[in-house]
Structure 1
Amino acid sequence: MFNSKTILFFLLFFTSIGCNRKFVSVINSGHTQENFRTVIPFETKMGLIILQAKIKDESYRFIFDTGAPACIISPEIMKEIGADIITSQKIYDVNNHYQINEFTKVSSIEIGNTIFSDIGTMILDLKSIPTVKCLDADGLLGSNLFRHATWYIDYERKEIVIANDLASLEKPLEGFSSVKFFEGFGGVPAIFTYLNGKKILDTTIDFGYGGTVCLSEKVMKHVPDTKFWKGYGVAGIGLYGDEIPSETYKGDVDLFSLGNGLDFQQEKVHFDGERNNLVGSGIFKYYHVILDWNNKKIQLKRNNISRTAENDFGYSYGYNKEDGNVYVKNLYERSEASEKGIQLKDKIISVNGENLEAISEDEWCNFRSDKDQSAVRVLVIEREGERKEVILGKSI
């Protein structure tokens, strides 16, 4: 998510190490009826798909996250549905921090008229994490549920068709480009991608990442002639809400490709340490997307949504729950923000005249939801008790 509004969004991905058999069995469980087709609406928030699903006749809001190997529900939902803890497992987030998390099986998750049964689910309060709280989501749907169906995602209509197979989607398939994917743990789909013609292994199809392309720093060697900007500060939030400072890079790559003619020229790519390679919804929202776990393929066809360049001023900022203030948390060298004097840890007093000093979490979420993330122009910042106005207007 290359914008000046918020820090990069990586938290909805997790891994496990040393899995016990019961845990693996829980994640690999699940089934649905033999023949089904349903159409459901969705909304997008902070670049992510949010949809409604029912558990025991109660409707909840879920994040659609193909990069997650398991669904997540809150402790409150678990209590309401009377589910039992089946096992626990040490789960690491993208910052290599871990907790012992509890897992259960949800007997029935109903999406439209399609019922997914006995789905392995992690128990975690996502709303305790400020960045996720702004999504107003009760939980998360992961690939361990998605792999039991075929999904047609239409960003123009803001609807998803769910069916038992490709033919049952009842959608014309002409003009789609198809790319084979392989399944990781929990059914997470990954593909080979190409950076200036060089193959990049294991790139996750991650609808839980609101940005475009994020690759491991080690693949930067494939684009030695690319001009990079180096960034400092917090580039991502972990599953447990922790913020880890790191050095990151970004640059306009001559050619990034998903294969089979799905090429992107002068694509802005983010390179971040040892993180997993990701292609996010910042790419997919410009396509009709079919996720077909039966044939292990993703199919894409360009939709009519215009792709315009987003202003990128080279910094990002985030909310501090402890004092209710907003601070610069990531900054790139040679960016417009840096050249005009913005520094890490500067307090943001206002943006375009809207006060951000000593605000509540709800006010922060409203600010994030209501504003075009490319429209930042006039900021008032504070450093060591002195305030300064900064006007941004040139994109890097």
Structure 2
Amino acid sequence: MTVSASIAVGSHVWVEDSEEAWLDGEVVEVNGEEIKVVCTSGKTVVASVSNAYPKDPEAPPDGVDDMTKLAYLHEPGVLQNLRSRYDKNEIYTYTGNILIAVNPFQRLPHLYNNNMMEHYKGIALGELSPHPFAIADAAYRQMINEGISQSILVSGESGAGKTESTKMLMHYLAFMGGRAAGEGRSVEQQVLESTPVLEAFGNAKTLRNNNSSRFGKFVELQFNDRGKISGAAIRTYLLERSRVCQVSDPERNYHCFYMLCAAPAEDIEKYKVGNPRMFHYLNQSNCYELDGVDDSKEYLSTRRAMDVVGIIVAAILHLGNIEFAKVSDSDASQPKDDQSQFHLKTAAELLMCNERSLEDSLCKRVIVTRDETITKSLDPDAAAVSRDAFAKIVYSRLFDWLVC
């Protein structure tokens, strides 16, 4: 039966709306390929039959936990079901063995504690409310029972909550495959402890959320024949290097820069940093703080990593503050003023390289041919591009090293 044949006066339908996306209502008139619909919102709409979708008037007002139970699995029906559940603080919904998550944009710790993990342990998928722990448990049981490797794909648009969902899955698998207490620092602990470091150096505030991963990630957990974690590997790809040098308002650069600027006084002096508003790579946006986030505390939680790489993070900030001016009567460039010279000197000290060599690498380009080596001076604009390219390369190498 075609859609047009099934729509008659009295039918309940969904019709498109430019403001609300979809409106539901009852058909009161049919004129060939056009229908008149009185919507539940009070609005009367004339629409094409081809743009109308049937609505199930007997669908539960609170939605269903598995959308394969819906009478109509079309766009307005799916969206309405998700919205109905979201309004009741149910952020998870199944479609078969696929879990759909709607970002609540708030922390819900009661959903992810150890008691909740115990609750889902060994329970068949679908017997309890939809949850990432149920997906993780199903994959774990399948691996144990059939001896076959399992994959869980976390996908969605920017801001959908992929980072948090991945963390929940990893926590549950570490819970199931972890060692008993007192057996020493385990592989799963090392994997979980890597998460704050990866987020500090690979996540940033975007328009969609405050902790958006700006890189792709593949996490592999290896289990032994007793179902315990025996090894792990994390592979990253497509780091958004441009963010290091260019930030759009009201977004932020990577978290680690703001953490370093909020470090204790001795580290502020050590790295010659301070207010993030003084650094070019940070002050392109007016967003410096995040609601509910204390950068000084976040710094301390990742300080073990910062002891090693804080020097490089600070060096990148100082590199961004080096401005260039034209050398008189030539196309060459040099640090613009004493302030730029200070940041050049500081960056060189932090990177433990010769100040003059660093300046030459930014202000000159070396071209190696078959017969000779040519050194070409760069104008101020080209020198700034060279500076930013160097900063992005340094940060990318740092991130790769952290993952390894």
More helix by share: 2
Larger Rg: 2
Greater relative contact order: 1 or 2 (C-alpha under 8 angstroms, separation 6 or more)? 1
More strand by share: 1
| TM-score normalised to structure 1 length | 0.24
